[in-house]
Structures are given as C-alpha cells and as structure tokens.
Amino acid sequence: MSWRVLVLGGTAEGRRLTEKLAALPGVEVIYSIAGRVAAPALPTAARIRVGGFGGVDGLASYLRDAGIAAVIDATHPYAALMTAAAVTGSNAAAVPLLVVRRPGWPETDGDDWHRVPSLAAAAAALGGFGERVFLTTGRSGIAAFAGSDRHWFLLRSIEAPSPPMPARMDVLLERGPFTVEGETALMRGHRIDVIVTKNSGGPLTAAKLVAARHLGLPVLMVDRPPLPPGTPAVATPEDAVAWFTDWSGRPMGHAPVDDSG
Ligand code: NAP
C-alpha cells in the first residue's frame, strides 16, 4: 500500500519537496510540470507527468482516476491559473490540498521599489522612468510591453520569447542562480535605467535586487496574485512534509492506493 501524492511543480521548492516526500516509506510522488520549457529541471525520485490537465474538470478527473491521496501545489507564486484550478479541482474531487508559497522579498533600506498590480500596470508606469529597461518577468509576460515603443528592453528568460513583443529588445537566455557581481556588471554594461520584476522570492534570483540597490536603480515590482481565500498554505517544502506526515497519519479522504497486485 502506498500514498500517491501529486506535486504541482516547476519550481526548486517542488523538486525539493518531491525528493523529501519520496524518501518517506510508502509514499509515491507524481511530479507535474506544464511542459513549456525544453529542458526542465526535474526531481529524480518521482514519476513525471507533463502538460496541462485541461482545466478544473480535467484536474478533478485526473485526481480521481489516478487515485491521488493528496495534492501539494508547489507552483511558482505567479502561476495563479494553476493554483486556482488546484483549489477548485481538489475540492471537487474531495482530495486534500496544500499550497507551498515561498515568502516574497522584503523591501529594505536603500531600495527604490514602485509596486504595481500587474504587468500591464508596469508597462503603463514605464513612462516615468528612463529608456532602458531590464525585464525579468519571463517570456510569457513580454506581450504586455509590446506597445512600449519609447523604451529599449533587455529581456532575460529561460526560453526564447515569441511575438507580440517590443520592437527594440535584446534577449538573454539564462537560468539562475545569479550573483550580485554578475547582475551589477550586467546592469552597468547595458546602461539599465529601471528593472521590472515579479516578487518571486527565494535565493536564486534575489541578486538583481541587491545590484539595483547598490546602483541606485528603481524597480517596478509586480505584486503577487493573492491565494484564493481560505487556501491552506505553508512557506517551505519542509513545512509541507510535516503537514503530509501529520495528515497521512490520520487518514481521511481517499484511501491509500493498493498497488500490491
Ligand atoms: P499558469 O498561468 O498558472 O497556468 C496555465 C496553465 O498551465 C494551467 O491552467 C495548466 O493547464 C498548466 N499548468 C501550469 N502549471 C502546471 C503544472 N505544474 N502541471 C501541469 N499543468 C500546469 O502557470 P504559469 O505561470 O504559466 O506557469 C507554468 C509553470 O511554470 C508552472 O509549473 C510554474 O510553477 C512554472 N513557473 C512559472 C513562473 C511564473 O513566473 N509564472 C516562473 C517560474 C516557473 P490546464 O488548465 O490545462 O490544466
């Protein structure tokens, strides 16, 4: 008998959580990614499933058909569609859900942050800053800046972007972690005036904010989408493992999968 856990991944936390859960006796992990990245980083100790579920109904059917005992959503803090579907779909399938949400970066002394509610709001606010923009919001967000003719963009993303996108743009295909020294040199070398970023949190991509602080550069910080009200959430994979061991010691919802036959 084993507990089958679905981890919604695409993050370092998702991978770490998967390795920790899979090390528990009697736990089988299915690690799910959207499938947008050509060479995704993956955990070693899980079955991997790739691609969307087909919305809320598709996810609820998957949870029932695959005999999932619990769902842990460890997607990126800005993957709001997936998290909303996880909340509704797990509820529909009567499968317990937990969200792992890493804390955002705090604004500290010397920072010059300008909070905006969306990528569209960031694009609209650019007129108040200089011409040369460092964009670290990912290739999927580039369309929001397609009409910004008066600015030049340096986009850093893991995969190449596709139109619509700004007319004046250079693309840097890179995956973190990044260093403060590297980020400082990059911003100086490209004579960056302003940075546009999401408050992703975590250590892998925080160096750009330290570099911006040292260089006195303004940062347009796109707010995180809120979690659906009442969603149970923890900050770290370790907290999620504690939730799971506590919960699975007191079974409720789906019974463990009988995979003995
Ligand atoms: P999203 O807008 O919330 O999701 C769009 C659709 O992609 C979902 O409705 C779902 O399709 C599918 N999907 C998303 N995550 C999935 C997963 N882990 N497994 C299976 N299907 C998934 O998501 P996103 O912002 O595009 O992010 C996609 C992936 O990249 C996530 O795994 C996320 O953790 C990772 N990521 C995102 C960011 C970011 O800034 N948004 C940054 C780093 C990594 P269906 O409706 O068909 O089920």
User: What's 214's DSSP letter?
Assistant: H
Whole-Å CA distances, 186 to 138, 211, 215? 17, 10, 11
Q: For residue 248, give the 3-state DSSP assignment.
A: helix
Tell me which residue has its CA closest to atom 13 in ligand 1: 34
Tell me which residue has its CA closest to atom 19 in ligand 1: 33
- d(CA 78, ligand 1 centre) in Å: 9
Residue 168 has pLDDT above 60, yes or no: yes
Please list the alpha-helical segments (H only) found in the chain. Answer: 12-22, 55-65, 80-92, 119-125, 180-189, 207-215, 237-248
* Residue 252 banded pLDDT, cuts 50, 70, 90: very low
> Roughly what angle, to the nearest 10 degrees, separates helices 180-189 and 207-215?
50
pLDDT of 20: 96
Dihedral pair phi/psi, residue 90, rounded to 5°: -70, -35
Nearby residues of 193 by Cβ (< 8 Å), 6 or more positions away: 129, 130, 131, 132, 133, 217, 218
- Could you read off the pLDDT of 119-134 as tens digits, one per residue? 999 999 999 999 999 9
Tell me which residue has its CA closest to atom 8 in ligand 1: 82
- d(CA 158, ligand 1 centre) in Å: 15
pLDDT of 248: 83
Position in ligand 1 atom list of the atom nearest CA 200: 40
Instruction: Name residue 219's beta-bridge partners.
Output: 113, 195
d(C-alpha 192, C-alpha 134), whole Å: 6
pTM of the model: 0.93
- Could you read off the pLDDT of 91-114 as tens digits, one per residue? 999 999 999 999 999 999 999 999
Dihedral pair phi/psi, residue 29, rounded to 5°: -115, 135
Written as six digits, the tokens of 60 are: 């609820």
Residue 156 has pLDDT above 50, yes or no: yes
Tell me which residue has its CA closest to atom 10 in ligand 1: 52
- d(CA 34, ligand 1 centre) in Å: 5
* Residue 251 banded pLDDT, cuts 50, 70, 90: very low
- Could you read off the pLDDT of 180-193 as tens digits, one per residue? 999 999 999 999 99
Residue 181 CB: number of other CB atoms within 10 A?
10
DSSP 121-174: HHHHHGGGS-SEEEE-S-GGGGGGGTT-TT-EEEEEESS---SS--SSEEEEE-
Please answer whether residues 14 and 7 qualify as being in contact, where contact means their C-beta atoms are separated by less than 8 angstroms.
Answer: yes
Instruction: Name residue 113's beta-bridge partners.
Output: 219
Give the binding-site residues of ligand 1, using a 6 Å CB cut-off: 8-11, 32-34, 36, 52-55, 58-59, 75-76, 78-82, 85, 138, 140, 198
* Residue 2 banded pLDDT, cuts 50, 70, 90: confident
- Could you read off the pLDDT of 4-17 as tens digits, one per residue? 999 999 999 999 99
pLDDT of 260: 47
- d(CA 253, ligand 1 centre) in Å: 26
- d(CA 82, ligand 1 centre) in Å: 6
- Could you read off the pLDDT of 45-73 as tens digits, one per residue? 999 999 999 999 999 999 999 999 999 99
Whole-Å CA distances, 196 to 34, 133, 154, 181, 219? 24, 7, 10, 19, 6
d(C-alpha 194, C-alpha 222), whole Å: 13
Residue 244 has pLDDT above 90, yes or no: yes
Angle at 139 between CA 133 and CA 145, to 5 degrees: 45
Mutate-to-test residue for ligand 1 from 72, 76, 87, 99, highest number of ligand atoms within 8 A of CB: 76
